[in-house]
A and B are shown apart, each in its own frame.
Chain A
Amino acid sequence: MIKKKADDKKQWFLYPANLRTKTLVIIALSVLVIVSIFVSGYFIRDIPTSFVNANQMPSLEHLFGTDWMGRDMFQRTVAGLGLSLMVGFIASVVSTFISIVLGLFSSFNKFADELVAGIIDLFGSIPHILLIILVSIMFGGGVFGVVMGVGLTHWTPLARVLRSEVKEIKTTEYVHLAENLGKSKVWIATKHILPLVVSQIIVGVILMFPHAIMHEAAITFLGFGLPPHEPAIGVILSESMHYLSSGYWWLAFYPGMSLLIVVLLFDLIGENVEKLLNPETAQE
């Protein structure tokens, strides 16, 4: 089925591009948007309040309208997204670390493998949102609680993938050879297994990100963690709940929409990176 698609050489936007270029451009643009949100979110600290301009409809001056204290909702949303991205980032790092350790640990022997499977089952047996609440309560709530709650519970899908990969790699000749040569399990795990699963890890991390961000928003929406004055997306949305019946729809609509777009961007990056890394689709 190595057949070039007919529209491959067609004019694409400014100049002719093949699928690989398109994929790279999509990835680069999405990353650019996300990085700019993150950076500008970091620099927005004090949003001026002006009670004269309270509860204004979206206009050119205030793209997303203003809230009850006259703060610009666009700035608040960007700041909130920046915060969410940061929480998502830390949580992904923690989760990735756990899943790599557990995935490699499962290569040691049958008992370790069963243990890892058991832990994955245990984490899957409690609804995710309750599990996050449980862990964040354990760490005493607050920002730290939310970060740990989200970080310590998102590793299961990646760990499951790694475990099955590891199982397959363990049947290869060179792993048997290394075992017979008397290499230690840790040596085999880090030198023979880890390099082979790097692409799965990269894709897993990128696909973990949107979940982490959504759960962070959900958990702060429920009232755990971040204090009311922090402009996290969940806090903004739960605040806007009070103004729904007054008809201030923009307070809820735009922040949620921006969150949706960020999540979609991450999905887009993840899918395209997978396309590039997966040898079956990389040559298309």
Chain B
Amino acid sequence: MNKNQILKFFGYKLIRFIILMVVVAIFSFVLLDLSPINPVNTYLRGAAVSEAQRAILESYFGMNVPLPTKIFHWLLDLVQGNLGTSLIYRAPVIDVILDKFAASIVLMTISWLLSGILGFALGVVAGKNKGSWIDKAVKVYCYAIQSAPSFWVGMLILMVFAVYLKLFPIGFGVPIGVSSTDATFAEWASRLVLPTLTLSLVGLAPIAMYTRNELIQVLSSDYVLFAKSRGEKGWDLVKNHGIRNILLPAITLQFLSFSELFGGAVLVEQVFSYPGIGQTAVAAGLQSDVPLFLGIVLFSAVFVFVGNLLADLSYYLIDPRIKESEFND
């Protein structure tokens, strides 16, 4: 891979990214502008004001400005990194999002890694022993978990581990009455275990199923038959001919799952009252905090885009065949 190609690749991705962001920004803005949400009512929260004061607030929130002008201002502010002020936190949206996103990213990274590794391992074990009880168990588990609502899985885990076994606290990022900066690492980590567990258990199903099916396909191919006839067998066979072939698509698939990961985090954070981006998004949606919600939508779009980009990159960086073919060109 030479420099020119890398530049071309990133240039193309950058242009796509900018176009996508602008379209997402306009799209979500228009949708929320069409909604019957009244920013003045949200701001006042039922406080009594005179007509004159209401008129001042309406002009402050720009309620009578035509839509194209509003979109233009919104994009202009966006370019300058100004996402506005959150109505429920009374703080700049960007600060709120960064603060909450930090909490979520820990949760999502750990469960992403765990679900990837566990899912791949389970898939390999199931695919290698096709038709055995372990394969059937993995299959049943994957089917069931993919049809189960992830928040329900979270509730079951909460019931078993927190309510009956009393192993972990029921929820919240830090103990009640302790500010988030004062919490010890153990307190903080013990509240992370159950949400992470839920997200990993839910997230490993697609990757396990995929790995299993791919491995079975690879193992039924001619070159594996040939390898068997040469005397390779057992784990070595799977390692040399199976895993090498299926690892890359599995990694790509895992990177492409960022969107589901985010969606899962929204629900799981709600169940465990974990103060992350998902809970904030729900609060912003329920309490009509339009600037915050728009900011979160944009951030999640960036998040998903990064996942897709990494999936593309993993092909370029990991796959020896692509490297070689470009070297020969």
Classify chain A's interface size: 35 or more
Q: In the complex the two chains form, what is the Cα distance from A133 to B278 in whole Å?
A: 12
Q: Which segment of B188-196, B247-255, B297-305 sits at the interface? A: B297-305
Q: Distance (Å) between the CB of B184 and the closest chain A CB?
A: 24
A-B contact count (CB 8 A): 130
B20 interface neighbour in A121, A214, A221, Cβ under 8 Å: A121
A222 near B282: Cβ-Cβ < 8 Å: yes
Is the C-beta of A223 less than 8 angstroms from some C-beta in chain B? yes
Is the C-beta of B318 less than 8 angstroms from some C-beta in chain A? no
B20 near A252: Cβ-Cβ < 8 Å: no
B301 near A126: Cβ-Cβ < 8 Å: yes
Q: Which segment of B126-134, B146-154, B206-214 sits at the interface? A: B146-154
CB neighbours of A253 from chain B (8 A): 156, 159
Q: In the complex where A129-B263, A241-B155 touch, is A139 in contact with B149 (Cβ < 8 A)?
A: no
A244 near B266: Cβ-Cβ < 8 Å: no
Q: In the complex the two chains form, what is the Cα distance from A208 to B260 in whole Å?
A: 16
Q: In the complex the two chains form, what is the Cα distance from A113 to B321 in whole Å?
A: 32
B152 near A128: Cβ-Cβ < 8 Å: no
Residues 151 to 183 of chain B near chain A (Cβ within 8 Å): 151-152, 155-156, 158-159, 163-164, 170
Q: In the complex where A222-B270, A256-B155 touch, is A122 in contact with B143 (Cβ < 8 A)?
A: no
Is the C-beta of B23 less than 8 angstroms from some C-beta in chain A? yes
Q: In the complex where A124-B259, A260-B148 touch, is A138 in contact with B35 (Cβ < 8 A)?
A: yes
A267 closest partner in B (C-beta): B147
B23 near A122: Cβ-Cβ < 8 Å: yes
Q: Distance (Å) between the CB of A39 and the closest chain B CB?
A: 23
Q: Which segment of B26-34, B221-229, B236-244 sits at the interface? A: B26-34
Q: In the complex where A221-B270, A241-B155, A264-B147 touch, is A134 in contact with B296 (Cβ < 8 A)?
A: no
A140 near B267: Cβ-Cβ < 8 Å: no
Is the C-beta of B285 less than 8 angstroms from some C-beta in chain A? yes
Q: Distance (Å) between the CB of B314 and the closest chain A CB?
A: 19
A127 near B24: Cβ-Cβ < 8 Å: no
Q: In the complex the two chains form, what is the Cα distance from A129 to B264 in whole Å?
A: 9
Q: In the complex the two chains form, what is the Cα distance from A140 to B31 in whole Å?
A: 11
B304 near A247: Cβ-Cβ < 8 Å: no
Q: In the complex the two chains form, what is the Cα distance from A125 to B18 in whole Å?
A: 13
A244 near B149: Cβ-Cβ < 8 Å: no
B267 interface neighbour in A122, A221, A263, Cβ under 8 Å: A221
Q: In the complex the two chains form, what is the Cα distance from A247 to B165 in whole Å?
A: 12
Is the C-beta of A218 less than 8 angstroms from some C-beta in chain B? yes
Is the C-beta of B124 less than 8 angstroms from some C-beta in chain A? no
A262 closest partner in B (C-beta): B147
Classify chain B's interface size: 35 or more
Q: In the complex the two chains form, what is the Cα distance from A129 to B277 in whole Å?
A: 13
Q: CB-defined interface of A112-150 with B at 8 Å, one 1/0 digit per residue?
A: 000000100110111111100111011110000000000
Looking at chain B's contact residues, the main secondary structure is helix
CB neighbours of B31 from chain A (8 A): 134-135, 137-138
CB neighbours of B303 from chain A (8 A): 127
A252 near B35: Cβ-Cβ < 8 Å: no
Is the C-beta of B262 less than 8 angstroms from some C-beta in chain A? yes
A133 near B24: Cβ-Cβ < 8 Å: no
Q: In the complex the two chains form, what is the Cα distance from A206 to B200 in whole Å?
A: 28
Is the C-beta of A162 less than 8 angstroms from some C-beta in chain B? no
Q: In the complex the two chains form, what is the Cα distance from A222 to B304 in whole Å?
A: 22
B163 interface neighbour in A140, A221, A247, A260, Cβ under 8 Å: A247
28 contacts between A and B (CB under 8 A): A121-B20, A122-B20, A122-B23, A122-B24, A124-B259, A125-B20, A125-B305, A126-B24, A126-B304, A127-B300, A128-B260, A130-B266, A130-B296, A137-B32, A138-B31, A140-B35, A214-B149, A221-B151, A222-B270, A222-B282, A222-B285, A222-B286, A237-B151, A237-B155, A244-B155, A244-B163, A252-B152, A259-B152
Name 10 extra pairs, CB < 8 A, besides A133-B285, A221-B267, A252-B155. A127-B262, A127-B263, A130-B296, A137-B31, A137-B285, A221-B149, A221-B270, A223-B286, A245-B170, A252-B156
CB-based closest 3 A-B pairs: A256-B152, A263-B147, A127-B262
Taking beta carbons and an 8 Å cutoff, which residues of B are in contact with A?
Answer: 20, 23-24, 27-28, 31-32, 34-37, 143-144, 147-152, 155-156, 158-159, 163-164, 170, 259-260, 262-263, 266-267, 270-271, 281-282, 285-286, 288, 293, 296-297, 300-301, 303-305
